[in-house]
Amino acid sequence: MKSIHGMLDASQIIEFKPKGIILSGGPESAFAEGSPKAPQEIFEMGIPILGICYGMQTMTEQLGGKVLSSSHREFGYAQINFDHKSQLFDGIDEEDHLLDVWMSHGDRVEDLPHGFTSLANSENSPLAAICNIEKNFYGLQFHPEVTHTKNGQAILENFIHKICGCGSAWNPGNIIEGDIQKIREEVGDDHVLLGLSGGVDSSVVAALLNKAIGDQLTCIFVDNGLLTT
C-alpha cells in the first residue's frame, strides 16, 4: 500500500481487496487545513487498519478524535508502557511492560475517537498506542519500522499475520525463483552481455543471470574509477 502522500483513491483500494491497510507517517499536522487525508471509505471496508505516527493522527481526526500540537515533543529514543494483552503486542515480553521505541513527532493525540482505547503511553504521549478492538483499527505514535524500536518487526508481523490474517508465502526465496524463471523466458536461446562494475546492483544482476542462463551470460568488468585499491 502506498503512503498517504501517494494514496490510491477509494475505488482502486476497494478493487484491490486488501486484507489490511497501513497508513504511514509524515511531517504534516493532521489538524491543519489541507493536510493529507486517507480516503474516508477505507474506514468502512471492514478490514484492519494500522496508523503509524501521522497515520495514527489522521485516523484519529477523521474518526472524530482530536490531535493537538504538543508542548513536549519527542524526537528519538523513548520508552512506552504497553498492554501485554493486546494482539498487537502479542509475544513481546519486556520487563515491567516497558518497550524501547523511536519517536518523531511534534503533535499528539489528545482525545480518542468513539470506540477507541489506549494500548500504551510514554512520558510525553499519554496515548502512544491506541485501538478499536471491534473494528480492528490500531494506531502507533512511535515508528515500529525502524531498527531503533525494539521488537518493531514483531509488532508489524502481529498486525500483518495475526490481525490481518496474511500468510508468509511471499519471501526472498520465492522472489528469486520468480525472477530466474522470468529471465529464462525473456532470454530464451539468446546471449546476454553485462557490464559489471563490482557494485551491489550489477553483482546481484550477474548472480541472477548466471543462475538463470549460465553460459549464455558474458560479463565485462567496467572500471568506473571509483574502486578502492
- Give catalytic residues, as residue numbers: 53, 143, 145
C-alpha cell at 217: 551470460
Distance CA 7, CA 9 (A): 6
Q: Please report, in angstroms and rounded to a whole number, the separation of the first and last CA atoms in the chain.
A: 43
Is residue 193 classed exposed, middle or buried when 0-12, 13-18 and 19+ CB atoms within 10 A define those classes?
exposed
Distance CA 187, CA 195 (A): 17
Of 158, 171, 174, 140, whose CA–CA distance to 20 is shortest?
158
C-alpha cell at 159: 498486525
HSE-up of residue 62 (Cα within 13 Å, Cβ side): 22
Strand residues in 33-182 grouped as ranges (E) = 49-52, 66-82, 98-111, 117-122, 129-132, 137-140
Distance CA 118, CA 109 (A): 11
